[in-house]
Amino acid sequence: MRIVFKCFLVLVSFFVIAGFSFLLMRYQSNRPLQSLTVNSNFSQHSISVYSPDYLSLYQQYGFSKPSFYFSISNLALPDSFKYFPETPEKDFLIKWSCTTGNPASVYQVYKSLYSFHLEEWNVPPSQVLGLQRIVSNLTVTTEFDSLNSYFAEFKKLLPKQSTTALLLNNISEFKIKNRFLQLCLVFHINSSNQFVLWCSDLFNKGEGVYANSWYSKESVWTAIKKPFLITFLISIFSIFFILTTSIFLSCELFLLKDKKFVKYIYAFITFLYSVPAFFVGTILIYLFSNPLIVDLLPSNFSFSPICMSDDGWLISIFNSWKYFILPVCTLSFGAVIFFVILFYNSFESEFLKNYVLSAKMMGVSARNIIYKHVLKNAIYSSSTFLFLLFPALLSGSLVVEQLYSIAGVGSLLMSSARSQDVPILIFLFGFTGVITAFSFFTLDYYQKKINGRILSQKIQ
Amino acid sequence: MKKGYTIFLVFIIIAVSAPLISNQKPIFLIRDNKISLPFLSCINYEKVSNDFVIMPPIPYSPGVSDFDNADYKSPFSQQHLKNNSIHYRHWLGTTLRGCDVFAGIIHGTRYALLIGFFAALISLVIGVSIGATSAFSNEGRIHLSFFQLMICIIAFLFFYNLIANVELNSVYKWFVVIVASISFYFLLQLKYFRIYNFSINFEKIEMQLTILFSAVPRLFFVVAIMGIFEHSIAILIVLLGITGWMEIARMMRSELMRIQGMDYYASAQLSGASRMRITIKHILPNILPLIISIFSFSFGGAVLSEASLSFLGWGVAPDQVTWGTLIMEGKDSMYAWWLVVFPGACLSICLYTLFSIGRRWNNETYSL
């Protein structure tokens, strides 16, 4: 019964998180119509196509209409205007910058316009994740009129932004005089319509607008499948790496604890705990994936066989082992340090116990005592944290996936957040919620099985 | 440990006096026998030959390009020095557009500490309030009349509808709605409104709320929400603040419940001391080390999250230079190591200092 109740709680948390995220998604400003993310080896760009509101401004300043309007997220400062030659568009943008008082955003528009005019956007088409989508979307819309039609088509897919306004009109038409009823109706419909649609699309029909990504037009399940598999693989490899490395390091460190230099190593390890993963990752790229130093390991995961081929998953995983090394090392760096400290401290407390003393008296070597007796007990006491590893790794994947251009769950979240792809965002939120809730649930169950005190309470 | 405090004090001094340390405007100017402090004004400074000026130690502002030293100048390479003066050297190199890295690091300290401090403060306020309410509520329950509950829901709807048509930023809208609803609830605490009482197990609600908020990783949550709002420091502080209170609430609740079971708490109650007196005289001194410890860890966590978000391009506004943005820029180049190493080292030292202060106070708590 308890398990059923806990499962029910997991489901409830999924829906609450998804619903909450959905409600937050509604309150958005300056939403771009379309946003496309590109990850190159060492940089990440995103193009956001905005509505053609600039047209009136262009006409106001007497310039010919541009081919399309968009912005790039990797910005420079307004003083970089100096880099660009004098064009009518530059004059316009500077004037507009003065009137709007936001030179940075205007600069984005100008930079992208300029880059596209001169075809200087140096992202190699064959090597960049997601560029294919951009090309397929933007090459057909280089003409302004065709872009407008593209927008018109895209707008059909957009959620009804003016739900509240429409509702209020309807309510006034129905002449509901009771203000309280009006409020209840507005609140009810605002909070239910699109989320209910999403749920019904996803679980019942599977064909509606909310069952598909608004960005890639593929179904939510298809969009999430491959990124999840990649993130899952990296997380599993990381967990394996964390356990083996931390156990080995902590045992060997503890064996040498009588040496003077171990004190300094331990202090250094505690310092390493404060070093952020993205800094470590960047340093690893500099050291091991740098043509100027040692080009030993690949750092761009988008070249790996697992990303390039759609079939033969198992073989492609084996073929792309080299591509996993740097991401796994970066992702597990913090956790390895954490577990080394944790195991080391556990060993210290375990070493004071009687069974260690009797083993010592029987002449068992220190290495055997640690590996055969102490390690097992130390792992039991520290195992609570093992179950919380997976959610933590999921969070860390956001940084690591951006660093190594991995098309995983973190990258999907970033691109979905940029393009406000609500169906994917709701699913990702719910998905991470369920994973975390499941980890808590498993931890709870495991502790009941392992912890003697809880077990004895149950027996009593 | 004193070293930790000293290093952190240095960080604070750098953050506070950043415009005095690194600025393209002079600190002190005498022009036509008139004394002025240009670093405080918004007007750009142009040098006249008769001026007497005292320039800051680093005569560059963050994000301002020095076109003569553009395209990643290393700290050890030959640089074009203005007036051939060593004072104008870029000691920690430059970025692609010739921005000074040292200036970026100094002003980045300011952003890191500002965002970290206020985000940690918000987390602390929320966490301590929820943890303490959960621990001190009468047997884990709060009593609320049915009428009060209904009125609160209606008030929430009413206030939201009231300001729905007002042109305000949506964050402020929510803030106004929540504050108005809470104040309405306190208004309803008057005896006049109590018609039918029923109790809510606040402890259980709090625990479920904590689990619910912990379910989504912090960075996931902040990135998804930052996609909606304009990038700004205020939004970042609020988001980091409201995503970091769960652990604080849990720790505070367990600590307060531990204290409630102690002898001195029972003695104080038996001696007839009021709840306020017990809280201020007995509980507060005992939980203060824990609060400082929690605050330090929370501060460090917020600084780390801010740097990670800036690194991902979801942090502060693009024209503001932080440690994370500098590392992000360094990632784009294969040889500009100075863009990664110096800001990364600053970030690591800052985090180490905060975490070690937190550990020290944590040990203090449990040694009592």
List pLDDT tens digits, range A240-261: 999 999 999 999 998 888 888 8
Nearest CA in chain B to A82: B67
Show residues of chain A in contact with B229, CB under 8 Å.
Answer: 28-29
Contact criterion met (CB < 8 Å) for A80 and B164: no
pLDDT value, residue A373: 87
Contact criterion met (CB < 8 Å) for A21 and B307: no
Check whether A161 has a pLDDT greater than 60: no
Show residues of chain B in contact with A416, CB under 8 Å.
Answer: 224
- CA torsion A153-A157-A162-A168 (nearest 10°) is 110
Q: Round the average pLDDT of chain B to a whole number and report it.
A: 80
Show residues of chain B in contact with A187, CB under 8 Å.
Answer: 157, 160
Nearest CA in chain B to A426: B224
Show residues of chain A in contact with B308, CB under 8 Å.
Answer: 276, 278, 398-399
Q: Which of these, A6, A231, A36, A216, lies nearest to A123 by C-alpha position?
A: A36
List, as ranges, residues 173-192 from A with C-beta within 8 Å of B.
180, 183-184, 186-187
Contact criterion met (CB < 8 Å) for A414 and B223: yes
Inter-axis angle of helices B170-187 and B146-164, to 10 degrees?
Answer: 150
ipTM of the complex: 0.80
Contact criterion met (CB < 8 Å) for B161 and A286: no
**What's the average model confidence in pLDDT over A400-428?**
82
Q: What is the DSSP letter of B44?
A: P
Contact criterion met (CB < 8 Å) for B332 and A440: no
Show residues of chain A in contact with B169, CB under 8 Å.
Answer: 29
Show residues of chain A in contact with B332, CB under 8 Å.
Answer: 42-43
Check whether A187 has a pLDDT greater than 80: no
Contact criterion met (CB < 8 Å) for A286 and B340: yes
Show residues of chain A in contact with B311, CB under 8 Å.
Answer: 278, 399, 402
Check whether A146 has a pLDDT greater than 90: no
Show residues of chain A in contact with B216, CB under 8 Å.
Answer: 17, 21, 429, 432-433, 436
What digits encode the pLDDT tens for the residues A282-299? Answer: 899 888 888 777 778 888
- CB count in 10 Å sphere of residue A184: 14
Enclosing H/E stretch for B30: strand B28-31
Q: How much is the CA Rg of chain B, to the nearest whole Å?
A: 26
pLDDT value, residue A199: 60
Check whether B303 has a pLDDT greater than 90: yes
CA atoms of A410 and A228, how far apart (whole Å): 9
What digits encode the pLDDT tens for the residues A103-128? Answer: 454 555 455 444 444 333 333 333 33
Check whether B166 has a pLDDT greater than 70: no
**What's the average model confidence in pLDDT over A53-73?**
45
Check whether B242 has a pLDDT greater than 70: yes
Mutation pick from B220, B247, B337 vs chain A, by most beta carbons of A within 10 Å, is: B220
Give the three-state DSSP class for B53: strand
Nearest CA in chain A to B320: A77
Instruction: Let me know: does A374 contact A380? Beta carbons within 8 Å.
Output: no
pLDDT value, residue A181: 42
Among the partner-chain residues B99, B311, B344, the one whose CB lies closest to the CB of A399 is B311
Buried b (16+ CB within 10 A) or exposed e, B24-57: bbbbebeeeeeeeebbeeeeebeeeeeeebebbe
Instruction: Let me know: does A330 contact A243? Beta carbons within 8 Å.
Output: no
CA atoms of A338 and A356, how far apart (whole Å): 25
**What's the average model confidence in pLDDT over B81-92?**
86
Check whether B108 has a pLDDT greater than 90: yes
Mutation pick from A279, A385, A436 vs chain B, by most beta carbons of B within 10 Å, is: A279
- Amino acid identity of residue A277, one-letter, is A
C-alpha of A205 from chain center: 28
Mean pLDDT check: name the lowest of A394-408, B32-46, B122-136.
B32-46
What digits encode the pLDDT tens for the residues B215-236? Answer: 778 888 888 877 666 677 888 8
Instruction: Let me know: does A428 contact A416? Beta carbons within 8 Å.
Output: yes
Q: What is the DSSP letter of B318?
A: T
Nearest CA in chain B to A432: B216
CA atoms of B63 and A73, how far apart (whole Å): 17
Q: Which of these, A203, A192, A27, A204, lies nearest to B163 by C-alpha position?
A: A27
Backbone angles phi, psi at B94, to 5 degrees: -130, 170
Among the partner-chain residues B154, B228, B324, the one whose CB lies closest to the CB of A27 is B228
Distances (CA, A) of B40 to B37, B45, B65: 6, 11, 21
CA atoms of A286 and B335, how far apart (whole Å): 8
Check whether A332 has a pLDDT greater than 50: yes
Instruction: Let me know: does A342 contact A384? Beta carbons within 8 Å.
Output: no
pLDDT value, residue A167: 37
Check whether A265 has a pLDDT greater than 80: yes
Check whether B115 has a pLDDT greater than 90: yes
Contact criterion met (CB < 8 Å) for B170 and A42: no
Q: Which of these, A77, A44, A287, lies nearest to B332 by C-alpha position?
A: A44
CA atoms of A393 and B91, how far apart (whole Å): 37
pLDDT-derived band at A94 (thresholds 50, 70, 90) equals low
Q: How many Cβ pairs closer than 8 A exist between chain A and B?
A: 172
Is A12 within 8 Å of chain B by CB? no
Nearest Cα of chain B lies from the Cα of A363 at a distance, in angstroms, of 36
pLDDT-derived band at A26 (thresholds 50, 70, 90) equals very low
pLDDT value, residue B147: 58
What digits encode the pLDDT tens for the residues A65-90? Answer: 443 333 333 322 233 344 444 555 55
pLDDT value, residue A54: 47
Q: Round the average pLDDT of chain A to a whole number and report it.
A: 65
pLDDT value, residue A165: 37
Check whether A363 has a pLDDT greater than 80: yes
Show residues of chain A in contact with B210, CB under 8 Å.
Answer: none
Contact criterion met (CB < 8 Å) for A436 and B330: no
Contact criterion met (CB < 8 Å) for B157 and A187: yes
**What's the average model confidence in pLDDT over B61-68?**
79
Distances (CA, A) of A39 to A235, A396, A414, B226: 21, 18, 11, 19
Q: Parallel, antiparallel, or unpaired for β B141-145 and B34-36?
A: unpaired
pLDDT value, residue B256: 86
pLDDT-derived band at B323 (thresholds 50, 70, 90) equals very high
Contact criterion met (CB < 8 Å) for A413 and B332: no
CA atoms of A382 and A448, how far apart (whole Å): 15
Enclosing H/E stretch for B267: helix B263-270
Task: Among B55-59, B102-106, B180-184, B186-190, name the most confident range.
Answer: B102-106
**What's the average model confidence in pLDDT over B76-93?**
86
Check whether B28 has a pLDDT greater than 60: yes
Q: Parallel, antiparallel, or unpaired for β B34-36 and B28-31?
A: antiparallel
Contact criterion met (CB < 8 Å) for B219 and A395: yes
Check whether B302 has a pLDDT greater than 50: yes
Mean pLDDT check: name the lowest of A175-184, A321-330, B353-362.
A175-184
- CB count in 10 Å sphere of residue B175: 13
Among the partner-chain residues A9, A274, A402, the one whose CB lies closest to the CB of B312 is A402
**What's the average model confidence in pLDDT over B236-247?**
89
